[in-house]
Amino acid sequence: MTDPGGHSAARSGENRPRKIRRAVVILPSGLTLANLFCGVFAIISASRGQFDFAGLLIVLGGVADALDGRVARATGSGSRFGSELDSLVDVISFGLAPALIMYFAVLNRDGWEWLIPFLYVVCAAIRLARFNVEQAGRAKRYFHGLPSPAAGLTLATYYWFSQTPLYNQTILGDLPWHFWLRFLMLALAFLMISNVSYPAVPTIGYRKLNEILGSLVVAVTIIGVIVLRKQFYFPALVLYVLYGVAKTVFFGLIGRRPRGNVPVISDSDEEIEPEDARISVPDIGPDQPPARRRRRRKPYPREDRSGPRQFPPRLPEDVDE
């Protein structure tokens, strides 16, 4: 006897992979929207004077932003829509939200200092638009310009650092931070649209020197985040910003740019060929049909070339009898 529910069971089995696939596709976009939620909530918290909680929301948004692209590449569900959505969300979470946190916490609201957050947001939008053109949708080892999450987290975690004993009980607290933070915002804005290259997530391993250094950086970062949460973020991010600038200045002084810096960072492990050795191949798209081969005409017979040439030559069948 056949199972009367066999057909329904078979149909449910067929629909199950589709549901799983749909969930996998939605997951990266869900992480992106979680990043947007953190950015909007951070703006609201900053307007209420809750700067500590606003900084935490930006950090959580950075975690969601770091996961959505990796999940999309791991599951093969990346798309142009996801890249565009991620950039639009980053403008809010790492552009507008950190700028407003600094505006409410540090800047003077009565004057024209609101132009500094405006310039910062403009540079963040330009940086993300350039990122979409050059590097979006693939794994990378270097960023072309300061990443907007790094710039946004630097501003958002300053308030955390200002509430720690390292800031209040040392000489750091005597520095004019409220004055220099204006120039820090402008410097971060300029670095986002500059040609300075910044390393992405370091490679973990033990066979090569860069892998060993990458493993140490990851280990120190994890320990610092867990043990010294409020004291670690801001100094570490400032060191990351200065590292990219120092590296670019150093290679500029010795007359050589870092490997894979301009125009787009190469993500392969192969050596980059010099520009003179590259062969340019014309781009033949669907709207450009291949060029036709010109057919060569056959030469006239030899016997017709003895006398004066006539165009067209008179062949035997054309002679009057």
Q: What is the pLDDT of residues 91-124, one digit of tens each?
A: 999 999 999 999 998 887 788 888 999 999 999 9
pLDDT at 91: 94
3-class secondary-structure state, position 143? strand
Between 202 and 42, whose confidence is greater?
Answer: 42
Q: What is the pLDDT of residue 29?
A: 82
Please check the confidence at residue 28 and state whether its pLDDT lies above 60.
yes
| Per-residue confidence (pLDDT) for residue 280, from 0 to 100 | 42
Instruction: Lowest mean pLDDT of 83-87, 129-133, 209-213, 303-307, name the range.
Output: 303-307
Using an 8 Å Cβ cutoff, are 36 and 29 in contact? no
Tens digit of each residue's pLDDT (9 = 90 or more) over 220-229: 878 877 877 7
| Domain presence at residue 309 | no
The total number of structural domains in the chain stands at: 1
Residue 3 belongs to some domain of the structure: no
Whose CA is closest to 43, among 29, 33, 32, 58?
58
Between these two residues, 74 and 258, which has the higher pLDDT value?
74
The pLDDT of residue 142 is: 78
Q: State mean pLDDT over 207-232.
A: 77
Answer whether residue 270 is part of any domain.
Answer: no
Is pLDDT of 298 > 80?
Answer: no
State the pLDDT confidence band at 318, using cuts at 50, 70 and 90: very low
- Is 291 within the bounds of a domain? no
d(CA 216, CA 222): 10
**DSSP 8-state assignment for residue 137:** T
Residue 316 has pLDDT above 90, yes or no: no
d(C-alpha 60, C-alpha 77), whole Å: 23
Q: What is the pTM of this model?
A: 0.70
Tokens 């090569």 appear where?
208
Angle of helix 51-75 relative to helix 97-105, nearest 10 degrees, comes to 170
How buried is residue 202: exposed, middle or buried, by Cβ count under 10 Å (0-12/13-18/19+)? Answer: middle
Rounded to whole angstroms, the Cα distance separating 194 from 188 reads 10
Kindly state whether residue 315 falls inside one of the protein's structural domains.
no
Residue 294 in domain: no
Domain that holds residue 112: 15-265
On whether residue 257 sits in a domain, the answer given is yes
Tell me what pLDDT residue 222 has: 80
CATH number, residue 123: 1.20.120
152-182 tens-digit pLDDT: 999 999 998 888 888 877 787 777 877 888 9
pLDDT over 70, % of the chain: 67
The answer to whether residue 275 sits within a structural domain is no
Mean pLDDT of 296-313: 54
Indicate the angle between helix axes 6-47 and 97-105, nearest 10 degrees.
30
Q: What is the pLDDT averaged over residues 6-14?
A: 49
